[in-house]
């Protein structure tokens, strides 16, 4: 069984990721923490609680975290991708949770859950990395309890928020730099290059909707997201970025990873938020003196049809 905590900014693809973990019998979902990102924190927090209620998981504690990036004052959201409420205008159609929010902030809940856990815990950060950077800074002892961070984020080729940067990293590059360069915890980075290859079609969504109330509710959250991805992909489908990362978190080895040095561009220039993964041959890295830089596992490939089937079945 995998002990798992999800740090999230729901978000339509976050909804699929939360459902994947919440409905998997082989996962101990210890908690869900929220962060600003796709929409403001109040909306991501409400969405996370309602999504857990949809999955019948009011037993899972939820705590709200950072409302803005570590260094910069103003978050920049992605309502144009996910709809202004984060869920294609359909958040209100989800059930009201019966459980109250935790009376502590996300960083405190993360630290408490890690302290109490009986063994190593996987964290899947699928939004900006602000809460995770704050956790590592404020509670360094927690690093030993974290088995690994399976992070949805980064772009090896072009980005989505800018030509260079993927949204989660671009939303708080300083936090991403803190987490990836800190070296306290093993990281797997699941970049958009791979998640795009695991897009699912509108037909896949309709088939999912026919499986029952949760499938139908998830499909109902996708109209605005489909509109966006029609432009991004050029066909009728969506990218479930965050669910790809959570699949790896709950079933290690689902994605093929390559270990490589990775740096986050924190300048104010056009490269801000870029993830520079050094996937050159090790011999060349050694020759040019970068082989020992902080590194992460970069997810580069997967058996895509099997992965789509896995998401569907769960």
Q: Which residues are catalytic?
A: 241
Residue 270 to residues 58, 165, 204, 257, Cα–Cα distance (Å): 43, 9, 36, 28
**Does the footprint of ligand BDR cover residue 14 (CB under 6 A)?**
yes
Q: Give which of Ca ion, ligand BDR, none residue 224 binds (C-beta under 5 to 8 Å, depending on kind).
A: none
Minimum CB distance to ligand BDR, residue 113 (Å) = 21
* Residue of 65, 83, 127, 153 that binds Ca ion (CB under 5 A): 127
* Residue of 19, 94, 126, 240 that binds ligand BDR (CB under 6 A): 126
Minimum CB distance to ligand BDR, residue 146 (Å) = 20
**Does the footprint of ligand BDR cover residue 7 (CB under 6 A)?**
no
Contact positions with Ca ion (CB under 5 A) in 216-245: 242
How distant is the alpha carbon of residue 201 from its chain centre?
Answer: 21
**Does the footprint of ligand BDR cover residue 13 (CB under 6 A)?**
yes
Residue 132 to residues 47, 114, 266, 301, Cα–Cα distance (Å): 20, 13, 17, 26
- Torsion angles phi and psi, residue 175, rounded to 5: -65, -45
Minimum CB distance to Ca ion, residue 240 (Å) = 10
* Residue of 7, 14, 77, 265 that binds Ca ion (CB under 5 A): 14
Contact positions with ligand BDR (CB under 6 A) in 39-78: 78
Residue 312 to residues 19, 85, 207, 211, 244, Cα–Cα distance (Å): 11, 25, 9, 10, 12
Q: Total residues at the site for ligand BDR (CB under 6 A)?
A: 16
- Torsion angles phi and psi, residue 64, rounded to 5: -90, 140
Minimum CB distance to ligand BDR, residue 286 (Å) = 32
Residues found in the chain: 314
User: In this complex, which beta carbon is closest to ligand BDR, that of residue 160 or of residue 275?
Assistant: 160
Residue 157 CB neighbour total at 10 angstroms: 10
Taking CB positions, which residue lies at the least distance from ligand BDR? Answer: 167
User: In this complex, which beta carbon is closest to ligand BDR, that of residue 110 or of residue 194?
Assistant: 194
Alpha-carbon distance of 266 to 161, in angstroms, equals 15
For 196, counting Cβ atoms within 10 Å of its Cβ (0-12 exposed, 13-18 middle, 19+ buried), the class is middle
Contacts of 159 (CB under 8 A, 6+ apart): 165, 166, 167, 170, 192, 273, 274
**Does the footprint of ligand BDR cover residue 152 (CB under 6 A)?**
yes
User: In this complex, which beta carbon is closest to ligand BDR, that of residue 45 or of residue 168?
Assistant: 168
Contact 249, 122 (CB under 8 A): yes
Q: Give which of ligand BDR, Ca ion, none residue 81 binds (C-beta under 5 to 8 Å, depending on kind).
A: ligand BDR
Minimum CB distance to Ca ion, residue 152 (Å) = 6
Q: Give which of ligand BDR, Ca ion, none residue 160 binds (C-beta under 5 to 8 Å, depending on kind).
A: ligand BDR
H/E stretch holding 277: strand 275-277
Binding site for ligand BDR (CB under 6 A): 11, 13-14, 38, 78, 81, 126-127, 152, 160, 166-168, 192, 241-242
- For Ca ion, the binding residues (CB under 5 A) are 9, 11, 14, 126-127, 242
């Amino acid at each position: 069984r995998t002990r798992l905590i999800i740090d999230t900014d729901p978000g339509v693809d976050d909804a699929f990721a939360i459902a994947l973990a919440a409905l998997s019998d082989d996962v101990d979902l210890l908690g869900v923490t929220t962060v600003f990102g796709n929409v403001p924190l109040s909306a991501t927090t409400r969405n996370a609680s309602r999504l857990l209620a949809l999955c019948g998981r009011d037993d899972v504690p939820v705590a709200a975290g950072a409302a803005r990036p570590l260094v910069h004052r103003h978050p920049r959201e992605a309502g144009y991708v996910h709809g202004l409420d984060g869920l294609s205008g359909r958040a209100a159609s989800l059930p009201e949770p019966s459980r109250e929010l935790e009376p502590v902030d996300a960083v405190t809940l993360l630290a408490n859950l890690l302290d109490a856990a009986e063994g190593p815990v996987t964290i899947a950060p699928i939004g900006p990395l602000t809460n995770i950077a704050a956790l590592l800074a404020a509670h360094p002892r927690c690093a030993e309890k974290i088995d690994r961070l399976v992070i949805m984020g980064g772009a090896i080729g072009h980005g989505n928020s800018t030509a260079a940067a993927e949204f989660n990293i671009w939303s708080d590059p300083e936090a991403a730099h803190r987490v990836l360069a800190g070296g306290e915890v093993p990281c797997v980075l699941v970049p958009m290059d791979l998640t795009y290859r695991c897009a699912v079609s509108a037909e896949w969504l309709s088939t999912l909707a026919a499986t029952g109330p949760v499938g139908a509710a998830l499909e109902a959250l996708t109209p605005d997201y489909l509109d966006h991805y029609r432009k991004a992909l050029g066909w009728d489908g969506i990218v479930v970025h965050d669910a790809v990362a959570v699949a790896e978190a709950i079933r290690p080895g689902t994605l093929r990873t390559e270990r490589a040095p990775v740096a986050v561009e924190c300048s104010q220039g056009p490269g801000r938020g870029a993830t520079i993964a050094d996937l050159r041959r090790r011999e060349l890295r050694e020759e040019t003196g970068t082989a020992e830089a902080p590194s992460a596992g970069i997810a580069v490939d997967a058996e895509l049809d099997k992965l789509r089937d896995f998401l569907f079945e769960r």
